[in-house]
Structure 1
């Protein structure tokens, strides 16, 4: 890529199939006029990244060609977009990984996350796949880039994307100030939901998980109480005003319904597998519960970045591990073990490999 006037051939983390994750030597594409080149500093491992590695698919998105993983990334612009849009060279940025597009099914224009042709970095939902940004250099549309305020570290800013998912979910819940809120699933998204709920003024935040480690993290993030998922009686006794389900498991959704007060609201954040799910929907009917979906986010990242910068959203406790990019496979092995890890970060500026295949 001669336009950069520097050696840009480097490494990218590419999944080739089930249990086939490689650091491949790559050369970034020549940027279009509205694209910038970003030197990636940190990337957070998401559940979808793990699913592509472990199962060759994330939900109904099936791997059909090698895919560069990664959509939770931050870095520094090393080449600004030629058309003058987007941040200048040297700007530290977070990345909004969505490219909305609407054809076919109807959707509200003010909610582009629901557009039927939307693509996401590091996704196999469409073919050819939308390549991700777990690479030393990423060529990205300038519109995806969000400049970071002074004082906000790149490491903390790496949480902007998953925290935006949490922010969107809490917004879908409606007002939570002064309310009793139950959070089912205390993985990275669940813990970030706890942090957003605390900022939003929830009076009680009760976290649930199958493991003690994520529950301890949830407490650090602002949970006022923690319950093991095996204690069905204690969960049902919560009678929450609002419940946010982030486990992505039918048992979690069933617990959410049982733990919500009559006339309460359940926000479904965790993406369940496709197909039928054994859930006590009859209770949702007889209790007149509101079941609300929450999918990705829209403009919330701007608010999240401000909140991370001013300290009103305290999120760093969710980061439990950091690995150099050269140890990506070990990082993924750690991230798959929810009993001992939360958000696992890859550092692209430490221990950088020269590129292998």
Structure 2
């Protein structure tokens, strides 16, 4: 069996990988599709995500679907052959955050394809992986693996929109039209936002934003278009760029709400604190998700229109080419790896 393994910055290899056999309460999954995420790209390009540095080779990927291959002793899960999606997080379930239903910010959580811990948590871009049974979800009837592979990033978007509060009838600004920003737009449309303004530097992502529900698009590098984004009730920063954060602070209305979703560069950045104070802007962070994963699967099964987000699919053998394209936002949005091609 083979896997997509990152050894360091710009050192991505498709190589032999032995996931072992499932132990007690574990399930082996034959992975069919995986979506390349921004964090995967950071590990590929920089050898790190924020403060999480690669210290050993690591299988990438946390947006994966497949079929149950085998169950370990005592595992309670779907039968062998069942199409499944994998929730990538394993919180500790014993800390204060877990007890207070904030499992997504558990400091002891393990996450597929993450270098936050050493040994690293190996990811899902492998022909077969072994995960705790509690992370495995049978796909709803009629949901294709191609749509289901978006469950993880859609969960991130769903959680962020929930952090914004009631969006029905509201004017919402989204900065950044990458895959997560596009899925935020799809959720906003589903939740009844009256206006959805999307800002980005590139035309291709803005075209995709219109296809998934944006009512207005704005080129972030064109000052003459900025008034279109003025006085938003809610602003969701999905670009991870300091300029995007500044736009949100400047364009959200007085007493409005700002949700920080995109991970900003490590270290301190400039922040318009006085504007937040004098306008009484509510600022909320949004990190990953928890039970939102199950709702995301249901939304996908019910036909939520997210198809435009997926733009390319590559066989596992061409993982390096897939990663290079996924980092080119002028040509691609969500890029998938087809592991059934192995």
TM-score normalized by structure 1? 0.93
**Structure 1 segment 162-241 matched on structure 2, within 5 A:** 162-232=153-223, 234-235=225-226, 237-241=229-233
Question: Aligned equivalents of 2:11 and 2:272: distance in 1?
Answer: 38
The separation in 1 between residues aligned to 2:98 and 2:320, in whole angstroms, is 39
Equivalent of 1:36 in 27, 43, 46 = 27
Equivalence map 1:325-336=2 (5 Å): 325-336=316-327
Match of 2:120 in 1: 129
CA distance in 1, matches of 2:72, 2:133: 6
Matched with 1:301 is 293
8 Å Cα contact 2:97/2:105 also seen in 1: no
* 1:287 counterpart = 2:284: no
Question: What whole-Å deviation, never above 9, does each CA across 1:59-98 have from its counterpart, x for those lacking one?
Answer: 0110000000000000000112331412111111111000
Q: Structure 1 residues 191, 267: closer, same or farther in 2, change over 3 A? A: same
1:291-334 Cα shifts (integer Å, max 9, x gaps): 100000010111111111011x2111100111111111100000
- 1:349 alignment partner, SS class: helix
1:105 offset after TM fit, Å? 7.6
Aligned equivalent of 1:158: 149
Q: CA deviation at 1:47?
A: 0.7
Q: Which runs of 5+ in 2 are unaligned?
A: none
Looking at structure 2, the residues matched to 22 and 287 of structure 1 have their Cα atoms a distance apart, in angstroms, of 50
**Partner of residue 16, structure 1:** 7
* Pairing 1:85–2:76 present: yes
Tell whether the 8 Å contact from 1:182 to 1:205 is kept in structure 2 after alignment: yes
Give the deviation of 1:107 after TM superposition: 6.7
For residue 145 of structure 1, the aligned residue among 136, 140, 147 is 136
Matches of 2:109 and 2:200, distance apart in 1: 32
CA contact (8 A) 1:38 1:78 kept: yes
**CA distance in structure 1 between the aligned counterparts of 2:97 and 2:143, rounded to whole angstroms:** 39
Q: Does the CA-based 8 Å contact 2:188-2:196 persist in structure 1?
A: yes
Q: CA deviation at 1:108?
A: 5.6
- CA distance, structure 2, for counterparts of residue 268 and residue 348 of structure 1: 33
Match in the other structure for 1:4: none
Q: How far apart are the structure 2 equivalents of 1:299 and 1:82? A: 26
Q: Which moved more, 1:103-112 or 1:17-26?
A: 103-112
Give how far 1:134 is off. 0.3
- CA positional deviation for 1:103: 7.5
1:266 aligns with 2:258: yes
- Contact 2:11 2:44 (8 Å CA) reproduced: yes
Alignment partners' CA distance in 2, 1:113 and 1:84: 24
Aligned 8 A contact 1:102 1:116 in 2: no
Q: Deviations over 1:21-50 (max 9, x none)?
A: 001111221211111111101000001111
User: Helix, strand or coil: the match of 2:161?
Assistant: helix
Q: What do you get for the CA RMSD once the two structures are aligned?
A: 1.4
Q: Is 1:103–1:117's contact at 8 Å kept on the other side of the alignment?
A: no
Q: Is the 8 A contact 2:237 2:258 kept in 1?
A: yes
Kindly indicate whether the alpha-carbon contact (under 8 Å) linking 2:22 and 2:70 is maintained by their aligned counterparts in 1: no
